[in-house]
Structure 1
Amino acid sequence: MAIGIVFHSIALITIMIMIGAFITKQIEFNNDIRNMFTTLIVNIAMPCIILSSIFKLDMTNELLSNAFLVLFLSIIINILGIIIGGLIASRVYPQLDRTREIAILSGLGNTGFIGIPLCAILLGPEGALYAAMFDAGVDITLWTVGSLILQKEKKVNLNTLKSLINIPMIAIVFGLTFSIIQIKPYVFFLDLFNLLASLGAPLAMFYIGMLLMNLYKARAVNSLATYKKALWLPITIKLILVPLIVLSIGNLLSLDNTIFQTVFVQSMMPSLTLASILFSKFSSDDEMGAATTAISTIFAMFTIPLMILILNMISF
């Protein structure tokens, strides 16, 4: 992976995040604005990135098996990160009683908002498809293992399973099904998917910038003062330790180059944006989730190029 392309992409992302932060100077980042952005990103832009990428590829048996391999690797990596975070937190901060939150924040990343657009930029349509499958693995882990960890009464019910059914997941199933039976939409729809897909990266980065600025001005500041000794743990595990483990495993496995690069990039994403919402749902510490999301996103702008630089220095 060319480090010049990475720095170029990170620079573009950083500028777009700064634009999002600047927007909060002009308008109030309230729930209506938040819902508008998340709806546009999750329900329109991300599905179109997925569909646009799938229909640009010739769906072979090898490509399909590779996609499901990425899904499997995603679940394994996510669970591994959760286990590592939980074990270290229980030993380093047993008195803090935040082991569950640290475990989730250590294992699950922002593979949708940031990961899919970034992989589309760096690795093209095939990378975007694999990134979408990795993000599907994050969703599966989040609403099964993640929800079980946070629940006081351990159970997976119908409402939990319904959370797995979302528009990006439907787009994956729809796109793969039509590609397998070799049916492509009319050119009009392909052009529409391509145009709407181009909104994904800018909207996602604007949202991250607005979220960061809003958290800085409000809750994240208080959370940082309360948990400043513990926040470094999930951030270090998520941004550095887990990617290094993936890099080491990739050195041992004979993975397709695009598969490995996609999995590696997705493994280094900052803590998931849904953390504070998920924690709030299960009466956990949502302020810690918000603070970790904000700070890990800022640090990721530096650790992502660093990790890819390490990748380029290692011969596979």
Structure 2
Amino acid sequence: MDSLLLIPSCLFLGFLVARFASPPKDMAPALNWWVIQIALPAIVLELIPRLSFNIDLWYLVISQWLVFIGAAIVFQLIGSWLGWSRARIGALILVCGLGNTSFIGYPMLEALRGREGLAFGVVADQLGCFIMLSVGGVLVTAVYGGASTSASAVAKKILLFPAFIALIIGLIVGQLGGWPDQIDSILSRIGATLTPLALFSVGLRLRLSLYKYQLMPVMIGLSWKLLLAPLAILGLGSAFAVSANVLSIAVLQAAMAPMISAAILADQNDLEPDLANAILGIGIVMSLFTVTAWHLLLP
């Protein structure tokens, strides 16, 4: 419960500071740099070596990939039809294709489904959603962010993404038996800064009202992330006769709020950051209710 209370607390604190404390103009970009370059890789280096995977859990991984791929297809089609800019399409793919399957997902799963549900959720997060952030998310920033889209440029951007480098190192360390306790403790403490700093940064730019031009993309984006994507994962898993426990966690993780790190990537690559942050803030609040509703509907 403390973890869930941290989320609105940090958002609200950032909101208050932005309006009453006159923070430095470059505070949010500086915090975002720390989150992407330092804190996120630290979390990956800590968690990946501990991860164990059973082939029976394949749907937990595939489901998170499908949410992202589905978002890419849906928002490209809708964006082309409505005449949206490439930056807007890219922002929606990032924040509505990638879920907050760890910082919101972990405490919610533990509260709703117990320790077994949390263990399944870690697999969906690290091997599913996180790999999509490291590969698909970086690919989206390259394609929609105006940077060079040659194969070599995109590959270089993915391979040099700090969290992707941490993923490779973490896999190697896991095969060698994991980190010594002292290093593991340091990584844990550094990684623990991600959630409060990222949410505080979002709060600095959070607006309680939307511009008229933002209303439709916010509604469409959150309809996919909180309703249609988990519904698709439920239907597909049922068709493949996925076990009830695995299917429930896959659906709940698919239904989680938009990913904080994805919104920061959108910000850093100028993919309509105001819209990305609006979707993130509203999505976090709404997901606390919609994920609970999904939990009550699932086995």
Class of the TM-score when normalised by the shorter of the 2 chains: 0.7 to 0.9
SS at structure 1 position matched to 2:258: coil
The amino acid across from 1:301 in the alignment is I
Within 5 A, what are the aligned runs for 1:5-154? 9-24=3-18, 25-31=20-26, 33-57=27-51, 59=52, 62=54, 66=57, 72-91=62-81, 93=82, 97-98=83-84, 100-101=86-87, 103-109=89-95, 114-123=100-109, 124=118, 127-128=121-122, 130-133=124-127, 134-144=129-139, 147-148=142-143
SS at structure 1 position matched to 2:95: coil
The amino acid across from 2:203 in the alignment is G
1:294 equivalent in structure 2: 277
2:114 equivalent in structure 1: none
CA 1:262–1:38 in 2, change beyond 3 Å: closer, same or farther? farther
CA 1:309–1:209 in 2, change beyond 3 Å: closer, same or farther? same
Shift of the alpha carbon at 1:83?
Answer: 1.4
1:177 is aligned to 2:172: yes
Q: Deviations over 1:15-61 (max 9, x none)?
A: 12111222323242523x2343123222322222223323445x4x5
Contact 2:222–2:283, Cα closer than 8 Å, also in 1:
no
Distance 2:277 2:37 in 1: 23
CA 1:235–1:312 in 2, change beyond 3 Å: closer, same or farther? closer
The amino acid across from 1:275 in the alignment is A
Distance 1:156 1:70 in 2: 32
Within 5 A, what are the aligned runs for 1:261-272? 261=249, 264-270=252-258, 272=262
SS at structure 2 position matched to 1:30: coil
Shift of the alpha carbon at 1:152?
Answer: 11
Shift of the alpha carbon at 1:163?
Answer: 1.7
The amino acid across from 1:235 in the alignment is L
Aligned length: 284
1:208 equivalent in structure 2: 202
Unaligned stretches of 5+ residues in structure 1:
281-285
Contact 1:85–1:107, Cα closer than 8 Å, also in 2:
yes
The amino acid across from 1:200 in the alignment is L
Distance 2:275 2:138 in 1: 20
1:232 equivalent in structure 2: 219
SS at structure 2 position matched to 1:163: helix
Contact 1:106–1:238, Cα closer than 8 Å, also in 2:
no
Shift of the alpha carbon at 1:174?
Answer: 1.4
Distance 1:125 1:198 in 2: 19
1:283 equivalent in structure 2: none
The amino acid across from 2:66 in the alignment is I
The amino acid across from 1:303 in the alignment is M
Shift of the alpha carbon at 1:113?
Answer: 9.5
Shift of the alpha carbon at 1:13?
Answer: 0.6
The amino acid across from 1:244 in the alignment is L
Shift of the alpha carbon at 1:231?
Answer: 4.2
CA 1:301–1:185 in 2, change beyond 3 Å: closer, same or farther? closer
Distance 1:152 1:44 in 2: 23
1:275 equivalent in structure 2: 266
Contact 2:139–2:154, Cα closer than 8 Å, also in 1:
yes
CA 1:231–1:117 in 2, change beyond 3 Å: closer, same or farther? closer
CA 1:162–1:84 in 2, change beyond 3 Å: closer, same or farther? same
